[in-house]
Structures are given as C-alpha cells and as structure tokens.
Amino acid sequence: MHNLLQLLRRLAEGKFEFVVIGGYAGVLHGSALVTNVFDVCAVLSAANIAKLRELLADLHPVHRITHQKLSFLAARRT
C-alpha cells in the first residue's frame, strides 16, 4: 500500500490528469470489498502522456499488453 500511495502522490504532484477507478476507488468510497486492483482513467493528450513518461521514467515501466517500444510509455521516434 505504501508504494501505491507514493505512486498516487507522484502523479498528483506532477499534475498528471487522472482519476482512480475500479477496486481501490470503491474502497475509497466505503466498500468493504477489496480486489487489490488499482486502475486509473487518464486523459491521453500529448501533454499528459509526456507528463506520464517523465513522472515514471525512473521506474522503467512496461506496457502490460505490448512490451514493444510502440507503447505510449516509450518516446515516439520519427
């Protein structure tokens, strides 16, 4: 849970536009059911994606569906 709070703080302080959805959002609203799934819904504008890349760069994130460099987490090459 400590890592989750650190991640939330990093995203919020970095002015990344997102909302928490899913299981943890339910817990925040008083649900007793915990799914241990943390989901966010984010604005996928170029500026917000750039912020996400910058905020998570030191964590070396990998897209869970496609591990290719085509992920939005990887800088676009021209």
- Classify residue 43: in a domain, yes or no: yes
pLDDT in tens, 43-76: 889 899 889 989 988 987 766 666 565 556 565 5
User: Mean pLDDT over all residues of the chain?
Assistant: 81
Supply the pLDDT for residue 28. Answer: 78
Is residue 10 within 8 Å of residue 2, measured between CB atoms? no
Asked if residue 37 has pLDDT above 50, the reply is: yes
- Which structural domain range is residue 49 located in? 2-59
Of 33 and 68, the structure prediction assigns the larger pLDDT to 33
- Classify residue 71: in a domain, yes or no: no
- Classify residue 54: in a domain, yes or no: yes
Whether pTM > 0.85 for this model: the answer is no
What is the tally of structural domains in the chain? 1
- Classify residue 13: in a domain, yes or no: yes
Supply the pLDDT for residue 65. Answer: 67
In this structure, how many other beta carbons lie within 10 angstroms of the beta carbon of residue 52?
A: 21
